[in-house]
């Protein structure tokens, strides 16, 4: 069986920023593989393209250029937010405003996003809403550990279920609801 649309694929890998000599950003091993439903848009298209056709036991190594990964750093994604946004029960929570903190937020249209506190400037907090890996080429080196057919339920929901990996819905918008808004009951 190959890494192909609608198969469940498990991989382990080491991700380095910039090149194969770059800083290790993430390392997944057999105890904590990445398991996903292939070809459903949950991962970067070029990432899946590099895995396409591989079988369990196959190794891989490839570089994704930043434009094929999370794109360049976008300057207008670095904004000043009023410090009052960090108010909880009438008091500003200074612990949230520490430089380097990643803070979950919501935009004016209700979309969830994470912002990194870059600076505190008076009554404003400078936040960077770029993806943490924006502007970086990504070097992946790893191995396909398992491939199986997706269940009918997984295909209907568009994500995996079971085996300690959660439901695999953390990468998409919204929650574990199907196209009609029904919960899949997987606990996300």
Check residue 166 and give its pLDDT.
Answer: 41
Structure token pair of residue 135: 């502007």
**Residue 138 resides in a domain:** yes
**Residue 165 resides in a domain:** no
Report percent pLDDT > 70 for the chain. Answer: 86
Q: Is 64 found in the same domain as 97?
A: no
Q: Is 105 found in the same domain as 13?
A: no
Check residue 80 and give its pLDDT.
Answer: 94
Per DSSP, the three-state class of 31 is: coil
Provide the CATH number for the domain around residue 82. Answer: 2.40.10.330
Q: Is 142 found in the same domain as 116?
A: no
Ranges under pLDDT 50 in the chain: 164-188
Check residue 87 and give its pLDDT.
Answer: 86
**Residue 29 resides in a domain:** yes
Per DSSP, the three-state class of 97 is: helix
Q: Which residues contact 13 (CB under 8 A, 6 or more apart)?
A: 26, 27, 28, 34, 60, 140, 141, 142, 143
pTM beyond 0.85, yes or no:
no
Check residue 160 and give its pLDDT.
Answer: 87
Q: Is 140 found in the same domain as 112?
A: no
Check residue 162 and give its pLDDT.
Answer: 67
Check residue 66 and give its pLDDT.
Answer: 96
Check residue 48 and give its pLDDT.
Answer: 96
Q: Is 141 found in the same domain as 54?
A: yes
**Residue 185 resides in a domain:** no
Range(s) of the domain holding residue 120: 75-128
What is the C-alpha to C-alpha distance for residues 108 and 119, in angstroms, rounded to an integer? 22
């Amino acid at each position: 069986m190959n890494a192909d649309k609608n198969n469940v694929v498990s991989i382990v890998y080491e991700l380095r920023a910039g090149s194969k000599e770059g800083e290790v950003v993430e390392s997944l091993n057999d105890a904590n593989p990445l398991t996903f439903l292939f070809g459903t848009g949950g991962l970067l298209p070029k990432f899946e393209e590099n895995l396409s056709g591989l079988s369990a036991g196959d190794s891989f190594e490839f570089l994704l250029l930043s434009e094929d990964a999370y794109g360049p750093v976008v300057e207008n994604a670095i904004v000043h937010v009023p410090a009052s946004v960090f108010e909880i029960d009438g008091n500003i929570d200074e612990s949230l405003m520490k430089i380097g903190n990643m803070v979950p937020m919501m935009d004016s249209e209700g979309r969830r996003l994470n912002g990194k506190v870059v600076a505190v400037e008076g009554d404003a907090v400078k936040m960077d809403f770029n993806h943490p890996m924006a502007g970086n080429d990504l070097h992946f080196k790893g191995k396909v550990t398992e491939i199986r057919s997706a269940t009918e339920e997984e295909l209907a929901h568009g994500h995996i279920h079971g085996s300690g990996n959660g439901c695999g819905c953390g990468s998409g918008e919204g929650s574990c609801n199907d196209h009609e808004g029904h919960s899949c009951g997987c606990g996300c």
